[in-house]
């Protein structure tokens, strides 16, 4: 099976450790993961702000970069959702039947990390060790756009040493929402404030999620409040072993 | 061009390239709930309506008892064909709304009872009377025969005649408009007493 | 006189003001949590809820896709049943029809059943200008009307008011328009509801003309349906001599049996009950029972505009249950007024721009009033994919500015981003620049995130929107891409 990592633009530029964690994790599970260098972004920032024409060349770049791979793995529910549910809209808009066809090829082969591990590889115990008190925030797009369900929790439950605590009002949006965080900053911050309070209520040391963009928002608020709670991507916890401790 | 033709023209233009074919699946039915009458009673009571179960022979005594229970005895209005000789009750004579406001209670029958939702439906035949009489008085005593109870909404819709005015009643009048706090009793009858005959 | 939404600022500004009102946020948080829990309980009771939603969506979609046929059938059925049918292309036409019928009966007041369509067209204000007083009889509408206020929720227009505020409004205003509230009025909901009962009863008993909307209009039988709780609807639909119903053309369902999925979906989604206390259905005139003169005004007012939109058309399936408002994290925090329309919340954020276009700044701001979390789609009883329509309406906003002589800063930024994202070499270059910035920031930053990473505190310029309340991690010195290149995917050197 030829497996490609779609690291996502946010992780590429801002959170390279998440990408490295995915590579380490997948290699440990025997998957020879490739990083197609032509990749850039899934196009979601343009699509969700209404710039469909601008998204066309970005989606074109995406399908070219990942052409021929059996599986495209991404450590982001949001980017997987974009590839699976929005690329077809952009392709239709382009009026280019070749792009429509190419998108129909890549969309169903794009998996969010927890989906790939549980559904494609069939593992929940990835041999991780992480001796900390952790709470999990299910990000909206992974939960409602992709329907990853409890796959992330299944994976976390098998991590040795971990103490998982429930996050109150877990399924409520953190308020990030892409350009929503800037266009409606006050509302976004009001939502984030409540999410940060719920995180603090758990007494967790670490907040984990499958999307670094949401974590950047919640983590940014926690940091401003000097709350001392660290945010981590799911991949980084799953990649951790006794050697890291 | 008339507003009618303009609107219909705009509708047709809007849908010019749209296929009208949509397959509508048959809505699912609730699974068998067993004793429908028991479920009906439980669900009606859930709305804080009062339910009394009795036999056909006991109906008169039960209803008389309910009306006599009101302070000072109730002035009751009844539909033309209630089929119950209720002492003191006044048969509706196309009373005005203001006249109906002078009655304390109304006694009617019903067309259908829906177990799943605890609903009674009136189709305002002569044993139920016109809509106004079961609306203005503050106490509605409604006689439902056990044989009239059906399982769920689709069963009721099948039985009911849309040409008739219908009133679906699920408990007494209620509102949640103040802080989403449910309060029973606003404009419709503040007390609903269902007498279930079996 | 009630307030007006005319001249409302764009959503972000209105939302900022609303967020500053702590009483409003407390009232809303309490109310939406209460109703969310109730809905969840009664929906969980229905084993095949998903199948029921699919059926409900199909019923409405089928009616919309052949709307002209169904409207003609509806008109025929209504006329056969003794009703008079009117057609209104816009709000002004609809208001004029209602005023003219009312004048013909020589009355200067009407009683009203809660109706979104009449709120949408500003009927009360139009009637007032014609010397006709329109009395709202739904408790929440009464609170809004007496308080010279604006509705903030589809189902519970006074959701932003708490019991103490309502008591004050009743004491201050009821006497001006009819029977005053008792002097010893308390703020118990039951007592307040009792005061409304007393106040409105004299109006019900003397009313000659009533005005309603309809939740559904059944084409093949000419039946209108009103779903309510308090009995004010029954009062209006039963006691007066004349009944005028203003019905949006999207309320049509094809057949009587189509009411089945709808009447199971609506109450559970709306008030969180197995069934609402009262539903009235009537087909034209019934001799000797209820109004003997029945009018139906079929209203377009932008609906055909929405119907022509391939993605947005589904918004016309809406049955006004307000489940999407109650689960929306944005609505819960800013309330309904910020949306500047009688249709607030997620459905309002798509319905308003679909009905009236996005050429004004306020309408154009609504599709962006969402984090696209998708909670609305999850609860919608007729499966309106609100997030997808929001995104599509955002595209409509952007497209409406494509020919601007001076592009917005956002458009320039998006074009630049798209240019960088269209070629990985350009992106790599941008990342090197951001890495340099990160190196500087890391050296001089006084903010450190838990875990040790440097971060930016408050920044000026475009970044202020982010860093006003959130620290921003410093960009890493090396992007993932550069790391992969340098280490050959982590296989060269120590791989870190």
Tens digits of residue pLDDT in A37-75: 999 999 999 999 999 999 999 999 999 999 999 999 999
Residues C295 and C429 in one domain: no
Q: Residue C159 maps to which CATH number? A: 3.40.50.10420
Judged by a CB distance cut-off of 8 A, whether residue A37 touches chain C is yes
**Residue predicted with more confidence, C312 or C435:** C312
Tell me the pLDDT tens digit for each residue of A127-157: 999 999 999 999 999 999 999 999 999 999 9
Is C326 a domain residue?
Answer: no
Q: Structural domain boundaries of chain B?
A: 34-197
Q: In what order do the strands lie in the sheet with A71-74?
A: A33-34, A3-5, A71-74, A110-112
Closest C-alpha to A212, from A59, A87, A91, A76? A76
Close Cβ partners of C230 (under 8 Å, ≥ 6 residues apart): B173, B174, B175, B177, B186, B187, B188, C138, C139, C277, C278
Q: Indicate the pLDDT class of residue C139, thresholds 50, 70 and 90.
A: very high
C454-456 and C472-473 beta bridge pairing: antiparallel
**Tokens matching residue C334:** 């800013």
Q: Report the distance separating Cα C432 and Cα B65, nearest Å.
A: 89
pLDDT over 50 (residue C1): no
Helices (H), C66-188: 67-80, 91-104, 116-120, 123-129, 139-146, 163-177
Helix orientation angle between A87-94 and A52-65, rounded to the nearest 10 degrees: 110
**Number of domains chain C contains:** 2
Is C374–A190 a contact, with Cβ atoms under 8 angstroms apart? Answer: no
Q: Which of A7, A10, A16 to mutate to test the interface with C (most CBs of C within 10 A)?
A: A16
Tell me, what's the pLDDT at C2?
52
Q: Report the distance separating Cα C220 and Cα A10, nearest Å.
A: 55
State the burial class of residue A93 (Cβ atoms within 10 Å of its Cβ: 0-12, 13-18, 19+).
middle
Exposure string of A121-131, with b = 16+ CB inside 10 Å and e = fewer, is: beeeebbbebe
Tell me the pLDDT tens digit for each residue of C52-91: 999 999 999 999 999 999 999 999 999 999 999 999 999 9
Q: Which residues 159-188 of chain C have a CB within 8 Å of chain B?
A: 159, 162-163, 166
Is B154–C260 a contact, with Cβ atoms under 8 angstroms apart? Answer: yes
CATH class assigned to B34-197: alpha beta
Q: In what order do the strands lie in the sheet with C447-448?
A: C447-448, C454-456, C472-473
- What string of DSSP letters covers C315-346? GGG-----HHHHH-HHHHHH-SGGG-SSS-HH
Is C466–A54 a contact, with Cβ atoms under 8 angstroms apart? Answer: no
Judged by a CB distance cut-off of 8 A, whether residue B57 touches chain C is no
Angle in degrees, CA B50, C37, B174, rounded to 5: 35
Is C260 a domain residue?
Answer: yes
Q: Indicate the pLDDT class of residue C272, thresholds 50, 70 and 90.
A: very high
Is C450–A223 a contact, with Cβ atoms under 8 angstroms apart? Answer: yes
CA distances from A133 to A17, A156, A167, A217, C143 (A): 21, 12, 12, 21, 49
Q: In the CATH hierarchy, which fold is given to the domain comprising A133-244?
A: Rossmann fold (3.40.50)
Is C262 a domain residue?
Answer: yes
Mean pLDDT of the C379-384 span: 98
Is C348 a domain residue?
Answer: no
For residue B62, the distance in angstroms to the closest alpha carbon of chain C comes to 24
pLDDT over 90 (residue C207): yes
Q: Report the distance separating Cα C334 and Cα A190, nearest Å.
A: 9
Q: Indicate the pLDDT class of residue A207, thresholds 50, 70 and 90.
A: very high
B105-109 and B76-78 beta bridge pairing: parallel
- What string of DSSP letters covers C186-226? -S-HHHHHHHHHHHHHHHHHH-SEEEE--SEEETTTTEEEE
Question: In which residue are the tokens 């209203």 written?
Answer: C299
Q: Report the distance separating Cα A3 and Cα C275, nearest Å.
A: 52
Regions of chain B short of the pLDDT cut 70: none
Mean pLDDT of the C155-184 span: 95
Q: List every span in chain A annotated with CATH 3.40.50.
A: 133-244
Q: Report the distance separating Cα C381 and Cα C384, nearest Å.
A: 8
Give CA C51 to chain center in angstroms: 25
State the burial class of residue A178 (Cβ atoms within 10 Å of its Cβ: 0-12, 13-18, 19+).
middle
Q: Indicate the pLDDT class of residue A230, thresholds 50, 70 and 90.
A: very high
Tell me the pLDDT tens digit for each residue of A18-44: 999 999 999 999 999 999 999 999 999
CA distances from A19 to A76, B36, C166 (A): 11, 59, 56
Q: Which of C51, C86, C187, C229 to mutate to test the interface with B (most CBs of B within 10 A)?
A: C229
Eight-class DSSP state of B170? -
**Tokens matching residue A149:** 């369900």
Question: In which residue are the tokens 């109706």 written?
Answer: C115
Domain boundary residue, one of C265, C281, C304: C304
All residues of chain C having their beta carbon less than 8 Å from the beta carbon of residue A63 are none
Q: Report the distance separating Cα A9 and Cα A44, nearest Å.
A: 10
Domain enclosing residue C245, as ranges = 11-304
Q: Report the distance separating Cα C59 and Cα C263, nearest Å.
A: 12
| Terminal alpha carbon distance of chain C | 70
Is C479–A176 a contact, with Cβ atoms under 8 angstroms apart? Answer: no
pLDDT over 50 (residue A239): yes
Name the 3-class secondary structure at A245. coil
For residue C473, the distance in angstroms to the closest alpha carbon of chain B comes to 42
The answer to whether residues B161 and C221 touch, using CB atoms and an 8 Å cutoff, is no
Name the 3-class secondary structure at C406. coil
Q: What pairs with residue B106 in β-bridges?
A: B77, B140
Tell me, what's the pLDDT at C495?
67
| 3-state secondary structure string across B90-155 | EECCCCCHHHHCCCCEEEEECCEEECCCCEEEECCCCCCCCHHHHCCCCEEEEEEEHHHEECCHHH
All residues of chain C having their beta carbon less than 8 Å from the beta carbon of residue B179 are 27, 30-31, 34, 162-163, 189
B112-114 and B149-150 beta bridge pairing: parallel
Q: Kind and range of the H or E element at C295?
A: strand C293-299
Close Cβ partners of C414 (under 8 Å, ≥ 6 residues apart): A45, A46, A49, A51, A54
Judged by a CB distance cut-off of 8 A, whether residue C459 touches chain A is no
Helices (H), chain A: 9-13, 16-28, 44-47, 52-65, 77-81, 87-94, 97-106, 113-115, 140, 151-157, 180-183, 185-202, 212-224, 234-239
All residues of chain C having their beta carbon less than 8 Å from the beta carbon of residue A219 are 449, 471, 473
Which ipTM did the prediction report?
A: 0.97
Tell me the pLDDT tens digit for each residue of C283-292: 999 999 999 9
Q: What pairs with residue B192 in β-bridges?
A: B140
The answer to whether residues C295 and C104 touch, using CB atoms and an 8 Å cutoff, is no
Comparing CB atoms, the residue among C11, C450, C484 nearest residue A229 is: C450
Q: Which residues 356-415 of chain C have a CB within 8 Å of chain B?
A: none
Close Cβ partners of B55 (under 8 Å, ≥ 6 residues apart): B197, B198
Tell me the pLDDT tens digit for each residue of A178-198: 999 999 999 999 999 999 999
Q: Kindly state the percentage of chain A with pLDDT values over 90.
A: 97
Tell me the pLDDT tens digit for each residue of C391-437: 999 999 999 999 999 989 899 999 999 999 999 999 999 999 888 88
Is C274 a domain residue?
Answer: yes
Is C345 a domain residue?
Answer: no
Closest C-alpha to A145, from A100, A86, A192, A102? A86
All residues of chain A having their beta carbon less than 8 Å from the beta carbon of residue C19 are 186-187, 190
Tell me the pLDDT tens digit for each residue of C313-356: 999 999 999 999 999 999 999 999 999 999 999 999 999 999 99
Closest C-alpha to C221, from B120, B166, B129? B166
Mean pLDDT of the C10-30 span: 93
């Amino acid at each position: 099976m030829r497996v490609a990592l779609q690291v996502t633009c946010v992780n590429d530029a801002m959170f390279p450790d998440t990408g490295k964690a995915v590579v380490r994790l997948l290699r440990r599970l025997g998957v020879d993961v490739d990083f197609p260098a032509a990749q850039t972004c899934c196009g979601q920032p343009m699509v969700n702000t209404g710039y469909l024409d601008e998204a066309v060349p970005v989606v074109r770049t995406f399908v070219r970069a990942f052409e021929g791979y059996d599986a495209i793995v991404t450590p982001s529910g949001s980017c997987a959702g974009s590839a699976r549910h929005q690329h077809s809209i952009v392709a239709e808009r382009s009026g280019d039947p070749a792009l429509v066809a190419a998108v129909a090829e890549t969309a169903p082969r794009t998996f969010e990390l927890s989906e790939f591990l549980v559904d494609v590889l069939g593992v929940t115990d990835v041999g991780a060790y992480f001796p900390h008190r952790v709470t999990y925030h299910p990000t909206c797009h992974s939960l409602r756009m992709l329907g990853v369900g409890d796959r992330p929790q299944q994976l976390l439950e098998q991590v040795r040493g971990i103490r998982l605590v429930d996050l109150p009002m877990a399924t409520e949006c953190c308020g990030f929402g892409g350009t929503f965080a800037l266009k409606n900053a006050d509302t976004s911050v009001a939502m984030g404030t409540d999410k940060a309070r719920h995180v603090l209520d758990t007494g967790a040391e670490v907040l984990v999620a499958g999307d670094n963009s949401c974590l950047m928002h919640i983590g940014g608020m926690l940091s401003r409040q000097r709350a001392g709670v660290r945010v981590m991507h799911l991949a980084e916890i799953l990649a951790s072993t006794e050697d890291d401790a | 061009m008339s507003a009618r033709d303009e609107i219909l023209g705009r509708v047709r233009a809007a849908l010019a390239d749209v296929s009208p074919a949509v397959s509508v699946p048959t809505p699912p039915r609730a699974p068998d709930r067993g004793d429908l009458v028991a479920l009906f009673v439980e669900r009606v009571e859930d709305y804080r309506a009062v339910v009394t179960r009795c036999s056909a022979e006991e109906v008169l005594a039960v209803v008389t008892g309910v009306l006599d229970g009101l302070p000072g005895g109730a002035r009751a209005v009844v539909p033309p064909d209630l089929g119950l000789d209720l002492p003191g009750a006044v048969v509706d004579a196309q009373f005005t709304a203001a006249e109906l406001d002078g009655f304390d209670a109304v006694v009617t029958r019903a067309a259908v009872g829906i177990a799943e939702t605890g609903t009674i439906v009136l189709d305002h035949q002569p044993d139920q009377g016109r809509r106004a009489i079961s609306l203005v008085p503050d106490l509605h005593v409604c006689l439902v025969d056990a044989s009239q109870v059906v399982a769920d909404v689709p069963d009721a819709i099948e039985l009911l005649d849309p040409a008739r005015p219908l009133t679906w009643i699920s408990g007494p009048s209620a509102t949640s408009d103040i802080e989403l706090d449910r309060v029973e009793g606003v404009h419709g009858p503040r007390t609903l007493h269902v007498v279930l005959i079996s | 006189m009630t307030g007006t939404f005319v001249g409302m600022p764009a959503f972000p500004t209105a939302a900022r003001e609303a967020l500053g009102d702590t009483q409003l946020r407390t009232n809303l948080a309490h109310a939406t949590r209460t109703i969310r829990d109730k809905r969840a309980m009664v929906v969980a009771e229905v084993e095949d809820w998903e199948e029921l939603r699919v059926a409900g969506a199909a019923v409405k979609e089928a009616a919309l896709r052949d709307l002209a046929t169904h409207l003609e059938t509806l008109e025929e059925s209504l006329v056969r049943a003794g009703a008079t049918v009117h057609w209104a292309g816009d709000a002004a036409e609809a208001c004029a029809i209602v005023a003219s019928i009312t004048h013909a009966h020589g009355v200067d007041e009407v009683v009203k059943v809660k109706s979104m369509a009449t709120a949408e067209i500003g009927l009360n204000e139009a009637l007032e200008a014609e010397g006709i007083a329109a009395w709202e009889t739904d408790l929440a509408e009464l609170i809004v009307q007496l308080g010279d206020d604006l509705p903030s929720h589809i189902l519970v227009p006074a959701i932003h008011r708490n019991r103490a505020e309502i008591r004050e409004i009743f004491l201050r205003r009821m006497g001006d328009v009819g029977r005053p509230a008792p002097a010893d009025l308390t703020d118990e909901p039951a007592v307040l509801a009792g005061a409304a009962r007393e106040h409105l009863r004299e109006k019900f008993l003397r009313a000659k003309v009533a005005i309603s909307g309809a939740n559904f209009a059944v084409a093949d039988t000419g039946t209108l349906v009103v779903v309510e709780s308090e009995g004010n609807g029954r009062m209006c639909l039963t006691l007066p001599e004349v009944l005028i119903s203003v019905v949006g053309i999207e309320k049509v369902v094809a057949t009587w049996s189509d009411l089945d999925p709808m009447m199971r979906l609506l109450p559970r989604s709306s008030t969180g009950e197995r069934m609402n206390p009262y539903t009235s259905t009537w087909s034209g005139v019934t001799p000797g029972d209820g109004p003997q003169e029945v009018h139906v005004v079929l209203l377009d007012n932008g609906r055909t505009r929405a119907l022509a939109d391939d993605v947005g058309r589904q918004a016309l399936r809406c049955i006004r249950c307000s489940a999407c408002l109650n689960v929306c994290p944005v609505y819960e925090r800013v309330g309904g007024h910020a949306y500047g329309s009688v249709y607030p919340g997620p459905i309002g954020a798509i319905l308003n721009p679909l009905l009236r276009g996005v050429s004004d700044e306020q309408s154009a701001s609504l599709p962006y009033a969402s984090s696209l979390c998708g909670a609305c789609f999850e609860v919608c009883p007729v499966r309106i994919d609100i997030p997808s329509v929001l995104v599509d309406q955002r595209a409509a906003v952007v497209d409406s500015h494509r020919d601007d002589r001076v592009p917005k800063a956002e458009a320039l930024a998006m074009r630049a981003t798209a240019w960088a994202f269209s070629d990985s070499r350009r992106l790599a270059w941008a990342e090197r620049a951001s890495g340099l910035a990160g190196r500087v920031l890391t050296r001089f930053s006084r903010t450190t995130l838990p875990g040790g990473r440097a971060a930016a505190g408050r920044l000026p310029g475009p970044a202020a929107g982010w860093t006003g309340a959130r620290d921003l991690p410093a960009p890493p010195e090396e992007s993932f891409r550069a790391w992969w290149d340098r280490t050959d995917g982590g296989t060269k050197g120590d791989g870190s």
